[in-house]
Amino acid sequence: MKSNVLLYLMITGILLGIFCGWIFGETMLAVGWLGDMFLDSLKMLVVPLIISSMIVGISGLGDIRKVGKTGLITLVYFMATTGIAVSIGLVMVNFLQPGASVEMTADKIPENVSGKEAIGLTDILQSFVSPNLIHSMAQMEILPLIVFSLVFGAVLTTLGEPGKQAIGFFDTVNTAIMKIVHLIMYFAPIGVFALIASKLGAAGGGDLFLAELAKIGKYAWTVILALLIHGVLILPAILYLATGRNPLHYFKNLTPALTTAFSTASSSATLPVTIECAEENNQVSRKASLFVLPLGATVNMNGTALYEAVAVMFIAQMLGVEMGFAEQMIVLITATLAGIGAAGIPEAGLVTMVMVLQAVGLPLEGIGMLLSIDWFLDRCRTTLNVWGDSVGAAVVDTLEEKWVEKGEGA
Ligand code: ASP
């Protein structure tokens, strides 16, 4: 399908989904299965895509020194943009004070969060390796798969001809999976329509959604405004300065991925589309997109980290807890780590928020206040997460070419 046609169809799908879910409410649950089918068909590709992408990505980067430099550029980009995102969130939440006039009423810890009290830095580090890769695949635990595939790909490059053949095999697997993504995208406009309409329907339609929004509206607006500042000003500026690309053009070409992120609330499920848009529409080199995007979908979450900082400060403001410079520095660091630790699945950010709350001694019950609207804010932050990853792919692509390849040649 021509990318422009797909773009318009997907935007139409989103708008129609909002319209139908808003007006017809729960009736739209009837189309939920169509959305689930779209989501499942993307998820079906994630495990083979991650494994083959990382193997082809790392072997495409060349010898171990080049891999190290490219890895370093990627890491610096991830950490810097996440740090900037959290700082924007903190400035906005201090400025707008969304929690100052809200009374905390929720008193129970949400189910998916309770029992996570012990989450901390060591848990995040431990999640990098898995004792059982098959189990990780079945559970869609992406981080250990990435670590394994990176090591596996790196080792293959040291094995001479047989190693090359094995890499060739994974290269073909990757190309085949991307062809399947292409086919699934024909179904995407209907898929995003059904996902949005049924989700808004499940939330009770437009009127109920507005009522929920009104309760903690200022908080939601603070999150959205901060996400917009990062997504519309900071990331495009980085893209332009680092690569000279036209941010509007780059954004437009990514629309299928961004609309998929908004409708699925999952960076991981969106990954196949993100890679397709980066490579085909935006001509990011294959080795950069295959290396940066799977990593980014799992560890680079600008939107999630920003959201967690705003949410934790909102809870503190509701409780009347004074948060000084030192406490906010702790929020900055832990929210950045929590963004890294969050899986690319819906509402993962709520779970890793436990770490940030604990670091500054706030009660977990505060999360209960955020639940009613989280399904919506999750979609907004996931869209920024995917936008951040995609800008990262272009930045790493350009810098890798400038610094690593030219540096080697000199
Ligand atoms: N849903 C987000 C993502 O997949 C993670 C989160 O913030 O909950 O990127």
User: Ligand 1: which atom is nearest the Cα of residue 301?
Assistant: 9
The answer to whether 367 and 350 are in contact (CB under 8 A) is: yes
**Segment 234-270, tens digit of pLDDT:** 999 999 999 999 999 999 999 999 999 999 999 999 9
Q: Does ligand 1 lie within 6 Å of residue 260's CB atom?
A: no
CA of 403 to the centre of ligand 1 (A): 32
- Ligand 1 pocket member 308 (CB < 6 A): no
Query: Confidence band (pLDDT; 50, 70, 90) for 400?
Result: confident
Q: What is the mean pLDDT of residues 372-400?
A: 93
**Distinct helix (H) and strand (E) counts, the chain:** 20, 0
Q: Is 351 helix (H, G, I), strand (E, B) or coil?
A: helix
* Per-residue pLDDT at 410: 44
Segments making up each domain of the chain, as ranges? 2-409
Ligand 1 atom nearest residue 308's Cα: 7
342 Cα to the center of ligand 1, angstroms: 7
356 lines ligand 1 (CB under 6 A): no
Q: What is the structure's pLDDT at 395?
A: 96
Q: Is the pLDDT of residue 93 over 60?
A: yes
Across the chain, mean pLDDT equals 88
120 has a pLDDT exceeding 80:
no
19: CB partners within 8 A, 6+ apart: none
CB of 378 shorter than 6 A to ligand 1: yes
182-198 per-position pLDDT tens digit: 899 999 999 999 998 99
pLDDT digits (tens, 9 = 90+) for 137-178: 998 888 899 899 999 998 998 888 999 999 999 999 999 999
CB under 8 Å to 310, separation ≥6 — which residues? 89, 90, 92, 93, 98, 219, 222, 223, 226
Query: So what's the pLDDT on residue 124?
Result: 73
**pLDDT-based confidence at 116, cuts 50/70/90?**
low
349 in ligand 1 pocket by Cβ < 6 Å? Answer: yes
Nearest-atom number in ligand 1 for the CA of 304 is 7
- What's the pLDDT band for 114 if we cut at 50, 70, 90? low
User: Ligand 1: does its nearest atom lie under 6 Å from the Cβ of 236?
Assistant: no
CA 374/CA 213 separation, integer angstroms: 10
pTM listed for this prediction = 0.89
Distances (CA, A) of 279 to 148, 182, 273, 294, 330: 24, 12, 10, 13, 38
pLDDT in tens, 332-374: 999 998 888 888 888 888 888 888 888 888 888 888 888 878 8
User: 204 or 31: whose pLDDT is higher?
Assistant: 31
Q: How far apart are the CA of 246 and the centre of ligand 1, in A?
A: 27
CATH of range 2-409; options 1.10.3720.10, 3.40.50.920, 1.10.3860.10, 3.30.70.360: 1.10.3860.10
The pLDDT, as a whole number, for residue 266 is 94
**What are the C-alpha distances in Å from 30 to residues 21, 202, 332, 372?**
11, 10, 42, 22
Residue 404 in contact with ligand 1 by CB distance below 6 A: no
282 in contact with ligand 1, CB cutoff 6 A = no
